[in-house]
Chain A
Amino acid sequence: MMPRTERVLLARALALAGRPLGDIATGSEARGKGAAGALVERALGIAPSSRPEPDLPALGIEVKTLPVVGGRLVESTWVCSAAPAALAQETWVSSRVRAKLARVLFVPVDASATSLAERRIGTAFLWSPSAADEALVRGDWEDLADLVARGLASVISARRGRALQLRPKARDARQRRRARTADGDEYWARPLGFYLRRAFVQRVVDGVFPPDVEDQPSRS
């Protein structure tokens, strides 16, 4: 059953803390990328979907699993796909990126085990971007959206964006989708997706789980 309040959602997520994914799997799930996220979402009572709005529309909360090893994130965090046609029509306020990141339940998953079933669920936490964080993400989004709108998606690389990246999201580099510039000109573009940079999310994680003081060197 879909959680109706933020408190219920968080309580369910915290109850999973420490359990291996094998505990919440039925055995019939698909393996591969996204499998951990799907398992956690199902355990939280969230129906699977690929909607443009957040996972819990009524609460405005998106659920994101964070694979970590030794306290460090191992990859950037997928936000949503970036259809060039839709992107050309959006503003930051109406954007799917903003809607997805307004309130996020991050669920760390210890990815040090090779087997998915042995990976252990971490301590979930709710996050909303601070004004400074939102300004950072917004700046990146507006820069990237502008390039896409002008048909210049091909010049975008993973190096662009301080917090938000726009990267190809496809099984192979030859996949293309039809896209349209702001002037209405059609062209073929690689399917793209927005990702939060690893360093940005790591900073969020470190804010909630500060690094150990004991590990810092003594001064004299």
Chain B
Amino acid sequence: MGGIRVLDSAVADQIAAGEVVERPASVVKELVENALDAGASHVDVHVQGGGLERIAVLDDGGGMDAADAVLCFSRHATSKLRVADDLRCLRTFGFRGEALAAVASVARVTLTTRAADTEVAQQVRVEGGRVARVGEAGAPRGTRVDVEDLFFNTPARKKFLKAARTEVGYVEDTVASGALATPSVAFRLVVDGKTALDLPAAPTNVTPEHPSRIERTVGCLGKHLRPHLFPFVGQTELLTLAGHVVAPLETRRDLAGVHLSVNGRPVADRGLVQAVRTAFRTLLEVGRQPIVALDLAIDPELVDVNVHPRKAEVRFADPRRVHGHVIGLLSDFLSRTPWLKAPAPARVFTLSSTGAPAPMAPTSTTSAAPVDVHSYHQRVREALARADAGSNARGLAVPAAGTGAATSFSSLRVVGQVGGTYLVLDGPDGMVLIDQHAAHERVVFERLRAARTQTQAPSQPLLVPLQVELGALELAALDDDGARALLERHGLVIERFGPRTALIKALPPGLSAKKAELITRDALAELARQGSAGALDERLDALCARLACHAAVRAGDALAHEGVRALLRDLDAIDLGAHCPHGRPVVRTLRFHELAGWFDRR
């Protein structure tokens, strides 16, 4: 007799649960998605002991009847999907019918639910995947799921968890992501009896400029970001990108500040995250990551959400085009937003401006508007259709940058140069200090980059073409005429040379031939996976930064008055001068009230 056995269903459920329920935050994510799909307008999440002791998610959604209350614990039991074709245009967060079964197989779960048209709630208790009790209970309309003793029967899983405080952090991120993607639903997170997040609902169909939307984002990302938050709506013929962008003066060390959703579904899609990073690339300090909360609205038929057990990733029909549009929209917005001239950023020179995207003011708007998670996207699609009917041109709903003469660097009085390196200006709020090398470097960098992006990139043949062996994925990209043409536009000329080899014949001028193989592999792999050449673009920006560094005035160079004025005029011509291309600050302000403090004048 053979040694192969069909696994016991409880064991199979536990294995499947490993894909879906990785940690307490995974449980919260699944239960919150169920609540939203049930049409909740309020979702409450309670967590105790880092989520291992207890997680409770309460909603005021549609609830379930007695039969569904039991059936929902079976694997692949769902009300959200009937036939495979439904996957092509899903409007719900869940659809796999796995979440509750997976959670119940590794915890003790109590489900209490009451449909609107019934008087009594149904209560089902499931322990380790087996139904322990079914009965009736008194409860308000909606559903409450209590998850206790998570991983009680899979102790190995517990060993991979982090400290309770860290797990709570993941839960908070999960709730915040859900809340950012569904602003018209109120959320509350209570951790060990204390309210950690309290997010009132925003009215349905309001744009990111609406104070309630701003409050939602501030509530999720942190109040300290309020002065740096800019609403953003950009649209192309393919998609609409809407939400909030935090000025690159405020950044994070990790990618936890990048909150993205696709058609209202929070995702951690690497390609999209990379597209956002590419748009921000040269604006950030070295090693820092941007903070954004953006939703991408696109025809559901052009995106496949069924590619990841936790639905964290999506697959676009044409990822290259989608990423290109996201980069284009964000880059346009960032280049037109005068961060340095916006009021309030504490660390930099601030000047008032007219027409610039205004930082957010505190508000206290709340709303009990009816819940419709997808109506916003519907509205966007309708607007898009109207726009398409009139024009195919890309439209950006961003305020124009204000660069009036009275708000420019060149309008300030130059006090002088100190330390042979720093220019001292008399600003309206304080003493403005400019690192002359970093400033000039930024100016030269912007010119070089503009020259690179506006024309066909030049190409430098290699003295001896480099033969490289490539994997199947890279070869597939190489055999794609469009991908190869894209690389050639960047100055990288590569040809097939054998069944598994290629010859790199030319590189963008200045790039190190020693790194040619690495650069090419990265670019081809990225083209194959995401349809874009961000890695190459990033490398070329680094090269522009290096060239700019060599061309710029140095620290220690004495600058004549006219030279200083010319540099200030050049700085006025670019709006991206918060940091030099290497990430060092260009401008700092020592405010008058700080000076007053030094001299006991306050």
Contact pattern, B 404-438, Cβ under 8 Å of A = 1, otherwise 0: 00000000000000000000000000000000010
Contact A218 B512 (CB under 8 A): no
Contact A213 B546 (CB under 8 A): yes
Alpha-carbon distance between A122 and B506 when the two chains are bound, in angstroms: 12
Contact B463 A71 (CB under 8 A): yes
Alpha-carbon distance between A218 and B509 when the two chains are bound, in angstroms: 17
Residue of A210, A212, A220 touching B554 (CB-CB under 8 A): A220
Known: A18-B497, A218-B546, A220-B555. A110 touches B464 (CB 8 A): yes
Contact B505 A18 (CB under 8 A): yes
Contact pattern, A 106-133, Cβ under 8 Å of B = 1, otherwise 0: 0011100000000011110000000000
B515 at the interface (CB under 8 A from A): yes
Known: A18-B497, A213-B509, A213-B546. 6 other contacts (CB 8 A): A18-B467, A68-B464, A110-B464, A120-B467, A210-B460, A210-B509
29 contacts between A and B (CB under 8 A): A17-B465, A17-B503, A18-B467, A18-B505, A108-B463, A120-B464, A120-B465, A120-B467, A121-B464, A122-B463, A122-B464, A123-B464, A123-B505, A209-B460, A209-B461, A210-B509, A210-B510, A212-B512, A213-B511, A213-B546, A213-B547, A214-B511, A214-B542, A214-B546, A216-B546, A218-B549, A219-B549, A220-B437, A220-B549
- CB-CB under 8 A from B514, the residues of chain A are 212, 215
B340 at the interface (CB under 8 A from A): no
B513 at the interface (CB under 8 A from A): yes
Tell me whether chain A's interface is mostly helix, strand or loop, or mixed. Answer: loop
Please report the total number of A residues contacting B with Cβ < 8 Å: 22
Contact B510 A214 (CB under 8 A): yes
B593 at the interface (CB under 8 A from A): no
Question: Nearest residue in A to B584 (C-beta to C-beta)?
Answer: A220
Contact A214 B512 (CB under 8 A): yes
Contact pattern, B 488-515, Cβ under 8 Å of A = 1, otherwise 0: 0000000101000001010001111111
Contact B549 A212 (CB under 8 A): no
- CB-CB under 8 A from A215, the residues of chain B are 512, 514
* Chain B contacts to A: CB under 8 angstroms: 437, 460-465, 467, 495, 497, 503, 505, 509-515, 542-543, 546-547, 549-550, 554-555, 582
Q: How far is the CB of A167 from chain B (nearest CB, A)?
A: 26
Residue of B462, B495, B503, B554 touching A219 (CB-CB under 8 A): B554
Alpha-carbon distance between A123 and B512 when the two chains are bound, in angstroms: 17
Contact B437 A212 (CB under 8 A): no
Contact A123 B550 (CB under 8 A): no
Alpha-carbon distance between A212 and B543 when the two chains are bound, in angstroms: 10
Contact B510 A213 (CB under 8 A): yes
Known: A108-B463, A123-B465, A219-B549. A212 touches B511 (CB 8 A): yes
Residue of B505, B510, B547, B549 touching A17 (CB-CB under 8 A): B505
Tell me whether chain B's interface is mostly helix, strand or loop, or mixed. Answer: mixed
Contact B513 A212 (CB under 8 A): yes
A205 at the interface (CB under 8 A from B): yes
Alpha-carbon distance between A184 and B277 when the two chains are bound, in angstroms: 80
- CB-CB under 8 A from A210, the residues of chain B are 460, 509-510
Alpha-carbon distance between A57 and B409 when the two chains are bound, in angstroms: 65
Question: Nearest residue in B to A119 (C-beta to C-beta)?
Answer: B464
Q: How far is the CB of A212 from chain B (nearest CB, A)?
A: 4
Most central of B462, B495, B509, B542 by chain A CB within 10 Å: B462
Alpha-carbon distance between A120 and B505 when the two chains are bound, in angstroms: 13
Alpha-carbon distance between A213 and B513 when the two chains are bound, in angstroms: 10
Across the A-B interface, the 4 shortest Cβ-Cβ residue pairs: A18-B465, A213-B510, A214-B512, A122-B464
Contact A18 B543 (CB under 8 A): no
Residue of A120, A122, A212, A219 touching B510 (CB-CB under 8 A): A212
Known: A212-B511, A214-B515, A220-B554. A108 touches B546 (CB 8 A): no
- CB-CB under 8 A from B542, the residues of chain A are 214
Q: How far is the CB of B532 from chain A (nearest CB, A)?
A: 22
- CB-CB under 8 A from B465, the residues of chain A are 17-18, 120, 122-123
- CB-CB under 8 A from B503, the residues of chain A are 17-18
- CB-CB under 8 A from B554, the residues of chain A are 219-220
- CB-CB under 8 A from A209, the residues of chain B are 460-463
Alpha-carbon distance between A218 and B542 when the two chains are bound, in angstroms: 12
Question: Nearest residue in B to A17 (C-beta to C-beta)?
Answer: B465
Alpha-carbon distance between A7 and B509 when the two chains are bound, in angstroms: 24
Q: How far is the CB of A124 from chain B (nearest CB, A)?
A: 10
Alpha-carbon distance between A110 and B465 when the two chains are bound, in angstroms: 10
- CB-CB under 8 A from B515, the residues of chain A are 214
Contact A213 B543 (CB under 8 A): yes
Alpha-carbon distance between A67 and B582 when the two chains are bound, in angstroms: 38
Most central of A68, A121, A216, A219 by chain B CB within 10 Å: A219
Question: Which A165-220 residues have a C-beta within 8 angstroms of B?
Answer: 205, 209-210, 212-216, 218-220
- CB-CB under 8 A from A219, the residues of chain B are 549-550, 554
Alpha-carbon distance between A127 and B522 when the two chains are bound, in angstroms: 35
Contact B509 A71 (CB under 8 A): no
Contact B549 A123 (CB under 8 A): no
- CB-CB under 8 A from A122, the residues of chain B are 462-465
Q: How far is the CB of A47 from chain B (nearest CB, A)?
A: 27
Contact B461 A123 (CB under 8 A): yes
Question: Nearest residue in A to B551 (C-beta to C-beta)?
Answer: A219
